[in-house]
A and B are shown apart, each in its own frame.
Chain A
Amino acid sequence: MRSYAGQRAALAIVQLAVLSILVFVLTALLPGDAADMRFTETLTPEQIAQLRAQLGLDQPALERFTHWFGNVLTGDLGTSLISGGPVRDIVKASVGATLVLTLATLAVVVPLAVALGILMGARENGRLDRTITSVTLALSAIPDFVIAVVLVALFSLKLGWLPATWVGGSLLANPVLLVLPVAVLLGRTVCLLSRQVRAGTINALHADYVVQARRLGVPRRRLLLRHVLPNAAVPGVQELARTGDTLLGGVLVVEAIFAIPGFATALVDGVETRDVPVVQGLTLVLAVAALLINLGADLVCNRLVPRTELLR
């Protein structure tokens, strides 16, 4: 177990290094640099050239990268080329909203998906199974921006029950802000997750040990919760890790519609303004989170169903 975690950590460092190089190269391949992005027809080409020198963008790419990388090793994510402030502040400012949104979504989607998955699996191909499948599939088939626009039009603009955006709002003062974004993200995530739980449930229900347990007369409720669920949850947990990744990366469409100052918005802003240190910093944080989540998911699966091959 410990050597497994060690291996994963070593692999993670290599992955992060490769990712950093990749992000740097890809950003460098985009047309223009952070100085060019200020060219909004208010700054003259001479002013831009001066700015470029000030930002150090006239230095060779390799030099800029090694400088950045050296700083990261000391725990310093660098300075934004656009705001001039520390990248750490930009990460901090954008991660909060996304984190809250992710946790709130998971808090709703996990119990819901597990309940639906077991219900469907236990009544494989029954009417209930088909109904839930149709509804969740339909929800995931509708693009999230359509769901969002419809929900906003109905609950905010028409009925006036819920706030339409996060504009000028604060989560602490007004937690209701979460309702619509979470509803949209729910539609997007509940289907896949419940399908995985359903598949796991069906597999488990058909497994020899369950058949045997049934023969032995284990009560149905206990059978489902005690014997089926842990096994059925394995694909679900892995899917959950993927869902967590996606949500943490921020969901651009949802952030744009509800004006949520989250991770995806910060990342897109960073790319659009060629703010390389910000893009690098955000992707790095995101990658670390993704690695941790996946590691966590693997460990949880191992806990649920100890299988040595999983850890090999």
Chain B
Amino acid sequence: MSVVQMRLNLTTIFINGRIRAGDHPSSEPLTVKEIWMSEALNRRGFLGLAGGLGLAALTGCGSDGTSNAAAQPKAGGRLRAVFAGGGAKEVLDPHVQSLFVDIARHKAMYEKLVELGPDLKPLPRLAEKWEPDAQAATWRFTLRDATFHDGRKLTSEDVLYSLARIADPAVPERVAQSSLASLDLRRCKAIDPRTVELVLAAPNAEFPALLAGIGTHIVRDGFKDPTKPVGTGAFKFVSFEAGRSMVANRYDEYWDGAAKLEELQILSADTEARANALQGGQAEYANEMTATFARTAEAGKTVKIVAAKGATTQAFVMKVDQAPFDNPDVRMAFKLLADRQRLVDVVLAGRGTVGNDLFGKGFQYYPGDLPQRERNVEEAKALLKKAGLLNKEVEIFTSDSTAGFVEAATLFAEQVGEAGVKLKVTTGSAQTYAKDLLTKGAIGSHRSGAMPIPQYITDRLLSKSPFNVTHWRQPAFDAAFASAQVQTDEAARATKYGELQKTLRDQGGILAWGHPDFMVGVTAKVQGVQAVPPNTLDSARFDKVWLA
């Protein structure tokens, strides 16, 4: 499919004929090869790890649906939002979600206790507040006065039932099972109908963020049949057809103020069809748009682009236990060889920001005070010479599973070549790439999206992390992270996380070269769409959207 998509995309470029060096902020004109490289797309947005930088978004960049400040929110109308489809994989069960389209559908109908703000910091939702004990092991959550679509009030029992449903070992697809594994369900209890006490087997000051993760929605006590959704969200379920559409209507008793829209349709379509549907008036909102489309849209008047600046992360990951990257000098040399601005200009067509070898630029706990790493070929050469790697060949493992992977690897190979190391690009299977990367390739392509920084570290950078693509396994690092996690004072925690991230930036195996923008296209009459990273409260949130 990706081949077809690529062909389609190239056609669009051909037809639009808009590619000029001037489209890119880079001072040097792009070569033809680079122009082709700068266009890539992926068919499906796999959940969540496509995330983003909230702060830049908040400080106002890109066009934002709310720019028309004079307009008063208007009630009524139907909004059709198109997302990358997943065919038969699309589900109604909110605890099994993994695709953006599913996440958006479930968000319309269900809610979580906690959500994430634009900087990935936990925000109260169905829980209006929470209080940990001194060890951060026992947490009391006070529930909001919310009502399910069937008229019943939200109670502590619903929370306990939902958490037990997620943890059900008979259904391994319940995604939050591993992130909520530290929950000791037998000791969790309802204090009263509006207060629930959750107990952790291992203390964790970041627990609220875990309750904001993917697949952590609150369903009704006794909820059995996912095909009949009953939530507390702003929209009530009408119909669903996997791979095509979900229709929902406004829920008038929504606790956070009834939505403006009368009807919400969340539809599935591939990249090219999303672009055409939006421009052809068959949809008002299109998720995950490409740089090519953004360029076309910005030239016209009918469609606006809402861009969360630098919302995702792209990186090369080096396995720190495999030659030649078991040598810290080689890791540093590669970091010094990356021409980050060039990579952003070419691979992301300028729609992104440069990275500083760390995940989550702009998120809560991100050490923004660390100096930006700059290119230094001479220093890199010296390090490579010391390591005896000059004129040797290294293989970089990539795939077209994500937009820009192969292009970035190819361009990086040229940049590394300038220091006398040959980087050979090997392309693997797109569908199994995420899994293959865990074991294959001393260096490979990596992407990640919006999630809180502590969660990223938990998932990828501890000895027991399930997705540790750099094989960064350091007992001292694990211990320091564990001690930070139990620190209930946020500032103290931030200091410790900052130190850990400095270590990662200088010694770790992640070469984070860029943070791609996350782009959404809307028609001119759509108002109230926020430029925020995916997986945050305001992303794909339609109860605050209205049609002018």
The segment out of A19-27, A111-119, A123-131, A267-275 that lies at the interface is A267-275
Q: How far is the CB of A184 from chain B (nearest CB, A)?
A: 13
Q: Which of B26-34, B171-179, B388-396, B474-482 makes up part of the contact surface?
A: B171-179
Q: A32-B429, A42-B214, A167-B277 are in contact. Are A261 and B178 (CB under 8 A)?
A: no
Given contacts A42-B214, A47-B177, A168-B245, contact A163 B432 (CB under 8 A): no
B434's partner among A30, A31, A39, A80 (CB-CB below 8 A) is: A39
Closest Cβ of chain A: how far from B176's Cβ, in Å? 9
| Chain A positions within 8 Å of B265 at CB level | 168
One of A42, A48, A85, A152 near B276 (C-beta < 8 A): A152
Q: Quick one: which of B431-453 are within 8 Å of A by CB? A: 431-432, 434-436
B255 within 8 A of A: no
CA distance A50 to B214 in the complex (A): 20
Q: Which of A29-47 contact B (CB under 8 A)?
A: 30-32, 36-47
> Does B98 belong to the interface (CB within 8 Å)?
yes
Q: Distance in Å from the Cβ of A23 to the closest Cβ of chain B?
A: 18
- Cβ contact of B466, chosen from A44, A51, A82, cutoff 8 A: A44
Q: Please, how many angstroms separate the alpha-carbon atoms of A59 and B316 in the complex? A: 36
Shortest beta-carbon distance from A199 to chain B in Å: 32
Q: Let me know if B173 and A43 touch, CB within 8 A.
A: yes
Of B280-288, B374-382, B414-422, B489-497, the one touching chain A: B280-288
Inter-chain contact B46/A50, CB cutoff 8 Å: no
By a CB distance below 8 angstroms, the chain A residues around B175 are 42-43
| B15 A44 Cβ-Cβ under 8 A | no
Cα-based distance from A45 to B279 in the complex (angstroms): 41
- Contact call B7/A157, Cβ cutoff below 8 A: no
B276 touches A80 (CB 8 A): no
Which residues of A lie under 8 Å from residue B173 when comparing CB positions? 38, 43, 47, 51
B61 interface hit (Cβ, 8 Å): no
Main secondary structure of the interface of A (DSSP, over half): helix
Cβ-closest chain A residue relative to B171 = A54
Contact present for B277 and A54 (CB under 8 Å): no
A149→B8 contact, CB < 8 A: yes
* Residue numbers in B under 8 Å from A83 (CB-CB): 88-89, 91, 242
- The CA of A257 and the CA of B87, in the complex, are separated in Å by 15
Query: Contact: A42 with B280, CB < 8 Å?
Result: no
Q: Is the beta-carbon distance between A149 and B277 smaller than 8 angstroms?
A: no
Interface size class for chain A?
Answer: 35 or more
Q: When the two chains form their complex, are residues B11 and A149 in contact, meaning their CB atoms are under 8 A apart?
A: yes
Q: Contact: A256 with B273, CB < 8 Å?
A: yes
A43-B175, A149-B12 as given contacts; A80 in contact with B88, CB under 8 Å: yes
Residue among B46, B282, B434 with the most chain A CB within 10 A? Answer: B282
Q: In the complex, which of the residues B172, B269, B281 contacts A160, with contact meaning CB atoms closer than 8 Å?
A: B281
Q: Which residues of A contact B459 (CB under 8 A)?
A: 41
| Among B47, B82, B276, B431, contact of A32 (Cβ-Cβ < 8 Å) | B431
The answer to whether B88 and A272 touch across the interface, beta carbons within 8 angstroms, is: no
Instruction: Name the interface size band of chain B.
Output: 35 or more
Residue of A nearest to B300 (CB): A157
Tell whether, in the assembled complex, residue A259 and residue B172 are in contact, meaning their CB atoms are under 8 Å apart. no
Q: Could you tell me if A261 and B243 are in contact, using CB atoms closer than 8 angstroms? A: yes
B273–A40 contact, CB under 8 A? no
Q: Within the assembled complex, what's the spacing in Å between the Cα atoms of A149 and B48?
A: 31
A256 to B85, CA, bound (A): 11
Contact, CB under 8 Å: B277 / A165? yes
* Closest chain B residue to A146, Cβ basis: B11
Contact A168 B80 (CB under 8 A): yes
By a CB distance below 8 angstroms, the chain B residues around A40 are 46-47, 98, 434
A150 at the interface (CB under 8 A from B): yes
Given contacts A41-B467, A82-B89, A149-B15, contact A157 B273 (CB under 8 A): no
* A153 at the binding interface (Cβ < 8 Å): yes
Kindly state whether residue B4 has any CB partner on chain A within 8 Å.
yes
Which residues does chain A contribute within 8 Å of B244, judged by CB atoms? 261
Check A209 for interface membership: any CB of B closer than 8 A.
Answer: no
Q: A256 near B11 (CB under 8 angstroms)?
A: no
Q: How far is the CB of A123 from chain B (nearest CB, A)?
A: 36
Contact A90 B429 (CB under 8 A): no
CB of B5 closer than 8 Å to a CB of A: yes
- Interface bits A147-174 vs B (CB < 8 Å: 1, else 0): 0011011001100100111011100000
Q: What are the residues of chain B within 8 A of A43 when measuring CB–CB?
A: 98, 172-173, 175, 178
Q: Is B1 close to A, CB under 8 A? A: yes
The 9 closest A-B CB pairs, nearest first, are A164-B280, A259-B273, A269-B87, A32-B432, A164-B276, A50-B172, A44-B466, A83-B88, A259-B269
A-B contact pairs, 13 of them (CB 8 A): A43-B98, A43-B173, A45-B466, A156-B280, A157-B280, A165-B273, A165-B280, A165-B282, A253-B8, A259-B268, A265-B87, A269-B243, A273-B89
Residues in chain B within 8 A of chain A (CB atoms): 1, 4-5, 7-8, 11-12, 15, 46-49, 80, 82, 87-89, 91, 98, 169, 172-173, 175, 177-178, 214-215, 241-245, 265, 267-270, 272-274, 276-277, 279-283, 429, 431-432, 434-436, 459, 466-467
20 further A-B contacts with Cβ under 8 Å, apart from A38-B173, A40-B98, A93-B243, are A39-B434, A39-B435, A41-B467, A42-B98, A42-B175, A43-B178, A46-B466, A47-B172, A83-B89, A93-B241, A145-B11, A157-B279, A163-B280, A165-B277, A168-B82, A168-B265, A252-B4, A259-B277, A261-B243, A278-B88
